[in-house]
Amino acid sequence: MKITTEQVEYVALLGRLALTSEEKKKYSAQLDDILKYMDMLAEVPTDDVEPMAGPVKLFTPLREDKVEPSLSVEDALRNAPAVAGSSFRVPKVIE
């Protein structure tokens, strides 16, 4: 096995996903299959190859520092599941 149930639990926590025990079992098996398929990549010598993050050469576009209208508080809150005044409402974070 390339991936254990404990690892699946750890990764699920990192990914902030509350998985059922059934899902954990299913994903362990499926991720194991997928990772085995990916073993083929080890065949390719890549020591001298530069990694590529994307197809476009990135540059930093500069613009004038001009004040422009931005999203209103009302618009920003319109899709929120819970709102308090002009803020997003969340469960208590700091005890």
Partner 1 sequence: MLALYEYTAGRLAEMLRTKETSSVEITRSVLERIDAVEEKLRCYVTVSPEEAVKMAEEADRRLAAGDGKPLTGIPIAIKDNMCWKGHRTTCASKILHNFHPPYDSTVVRLLKEEGIVILGSANMDEFAMGSSTETSHWGPTRNPWNVEMIPGGSSGGSAAAVAAGEAVVTLGSDTGGSIRLPAAFCGVSGMKPTYGAVSRYGLVAYASSLDQIGPIARDARDIALLLNIICGHDPKDSTSVPRDYPNFSNSLDKPVKGMKIGLPREFFDKLEDPDVNRVMKDARQIYRSLGVSFVDLSLPHLDYALAAYYIIAPSEASSNLARYDGVKYGFRAENFDGMIDMYCRSRAEGFGAEVKRRIMLGTYALSSGYYDAYYLKAAKIRTLITNDFRKAFEECDAILCPTAPSPPFRIGEKMDDPIQMYLTDVFTIPVNMAGLPGMAIPGGFSSDGLPIGIQLVASHFEEARLVQLSSAFQKETDHHLKRPSL
Residues that bind partner 1 (CB under 8 A): 3, 7-8, 10-19, 23, 27, 30-31, 33-35, 37-38, 40-42, 44, 46, 49-56, 58, 61, 63, 71, 75-76, 78-82, 88, 90-93
Q: How far is the CB of 86 from partner 1 (least distance, A)?
A: 14
Using the minimum distance from each CB to partner 1, give the nearer residue, 1 or 23: 23
Handedness of CA 68, 69, 71, 73 (dihedral sign): positive
**Residue with Cβ nearer partner 1 (1 or 88):** 88
Long-range CB pairs of 56-62 (<8 Å, 24+ gap) are none
Q: Is the dihedral of CA 47, 50, 53, 55 positive or negative?
A: negative
